[in-house]
């Protein structure tokens, strides 16, 4: 029964990991920017959920609806005003710029919310379902379902809408997209806004499950890295595959050799993948 429980846990956690990573993957794939501020966006989303629940009594499900446009606007402005100025510079410059932004946002959060760990506790607790010997907490299940829904929504957006097709076109071939009349700078801003919105929503979901602190942002960022590399860049299905693989490896690893080594294991997996299969599980070779 232990094996089934580990498997179920990994499935639940994997969808959440995918949700964390998908915005990061979108930005990396489309803009070719490693967005180091992603982890702080997630934590900011978690604080939004926490303060809305604590001070205004708004349930996290509704916060999800508020968070998406707020974060989209924030990300859009950030890209339009700052990142678009250096978008054609080498890797190092964009990387360092997002690092600077991350320092500012993270410092602001430590300043306003302090570094104490906080926890969002729903006041009638949702309890847990047990089927045979497998136990799953309901809040975790709902968070997973929401994460899957968000992922599906992004997939539909990229597949069906005009903006989505333009984003995919820029990702496939920037120059050709320009020739087809796509306004690349505004697509960049929209993609970055979408990434931020997904990060904010992921943060709201994380607030239900994990403790909240500005110090956790680097852990989220690390997960996003690993998932992206495992699954392959820029595609929705890749992020899902990467998230599930990471959760599975972490789950099995912590059961067999102890939870202390879970992080090491995931990073060793990352390095192996980077060297052996840098395009990821579902990525295509020679496609950047």
Partner 1 sequence: MTRVNLALLILIACVASLPLFGGAYALRVGTIACMYAIFALSWNIVGGFAGYPSFATAAFFGFGAYATGILLNKGVPLSVAVIGSLVMCFLLATALGTVLLRLRGHYFAIASLSLVEVFRELVNNATDLTGGGMGLNIPLASGSGILADATFFFYAMWGLLLITAVVVMIVSASKLGFGLNCIRQNETASNMVGLNSTLYKSVAFGLSACFVGTAGGIYAAWVHYIDPSDVFDILYSVKPIVMALMGGLGSPLGVVCGAFVYLGLEEVVWRNYIQIHSGVLGVLIIMLLLFLPHGLISLRSGMFWRKAKHV
Minimum gap (Å) between residue 246 Cβ and partner 1: 13
| Closer of 96 and 121 to partner 1 (Cβ) | 96
Nearest in space to 224 (alpha carbons), one of 8, 76, 29, 9: 29
Helices (H) and strands (E) in the chain, counts: 11, 2
Query: Which residues of this chain interact with partner 1, rule CB under 8 A?
Result: 28, 32, 34, 82, 85-86, 89, 91-93, 95-97, 99-104, 106-108, 111, 218, 222, 225-226, 229, 260-261, 263-264, 267-268, 270-271, 274-275, 278
Distance of alpha carbon 134 from alpha carbon 136, whole angstroms: 7
How far are the Cα atoms of 3, 71, 120, 242, 250 from residue 17, in angstroms, in the given order?
20, 19, 19, 8, 12
- What minimum distance in Å lies between the beta carbon of 49 and partner 1? 23
Q: How far, in Å, are 46, 173, 258 from residue 144 at the CA level?
A: 15, 34, 25
Query: Closest CB to partner 1 among 65 and 268?
Result: 268
184-209 helix and 60-81 helix, angle to the nearest 10 degrees: 150
Q: Provide the minimum distance between the beta carbon of 254 and partner 1 in the complex, in angstroms, as a whole number.
A: 13
Smallest gap from Cβ 105 to partner 1, in A, equals 8
Residue with smaller CB distance to partner 1, 87 or 208: 87
User: Which residues fall within 8 angstroms of residue 49, CB to CB, at 6 or more apart?
Assistant: 60, 63, 67, 120, 203, 204, 207, 208
- Closest to partner 1 by CB, 89 vs 178, is 89
Helix (H, G, I), strand (E, B) or coil at 167: helix
- 38 or 140, CB closer to partner 1? 38
Supply the minimum distance, in Å, between the C-beta of residue 11 and partner 1.
25
| Three-state secondary-structure class, residue 130 | strand
Minimum gap (Å) between residue 240 Cβ and partner 1: 20
Of 28 and 53, nearer to partner 1 (C-beta) is 28
Q: Which helix (H) or strand (E) holds 136?
A: strand 134-137
């Amino acid at each position: 029964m232990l094996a089934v429980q580990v498997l179920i846990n990994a499935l639940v956690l994997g969808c959440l990991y995918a949700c964390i990573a998908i915005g990061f993957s979108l930005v990396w794939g489309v803009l070719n920017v490693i967005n180091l501020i992603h982890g702080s966006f997630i934590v900011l989303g978690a604080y939004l959920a926490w303060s809305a629940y604590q001070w205004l009594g708004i349930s996290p499900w509704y916060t999800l609806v508020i968070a998406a446009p707020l974060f989209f606007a924030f990300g859009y402005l950030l890209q339009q005003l700052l990142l678009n100025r250096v978008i054609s510079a080498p890797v190092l410059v964009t990387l360092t710029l997002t690092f600077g932004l991350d320092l500012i946002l993270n410092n602001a959060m430590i300043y306003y919310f302090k570094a104490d760990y906080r926890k969002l506790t729903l006041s009638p607790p949702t309890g847990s379902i047990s089927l045979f010997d497998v136990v799953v907490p309901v809040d975790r299940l709902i968070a997973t379902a929401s994460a899957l829904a968000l992922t599906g929504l992004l997939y539909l957006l990229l597949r069906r809408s005009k903006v989505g097709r333009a984003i995919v076109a820029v990702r496939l071939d920037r120059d050709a997209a320009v020739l087809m009349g796509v306004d690349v700078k505004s697509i960049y801003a929209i993609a970055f806004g979408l990434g931020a919105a997904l990060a904010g929503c992921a943060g709201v979901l994380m607030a239900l499950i994990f403790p909240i602190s500005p110090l956790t942002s680097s852990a989220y960022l690390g997960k996003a890295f690993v998932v992206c590399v495992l699954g392959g860049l820029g595609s929705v299905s890749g992020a899902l595959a990467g998230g599930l693989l990471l959760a599975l490896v972490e789950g099995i690893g912590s059961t067999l050799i102890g939870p202390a080594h879970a992080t090491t294991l995931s990073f060793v997996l990352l390095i192996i993948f980077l060297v052996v299969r840098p395009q990821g599980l579902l990525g295509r070779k020679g496609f950047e």
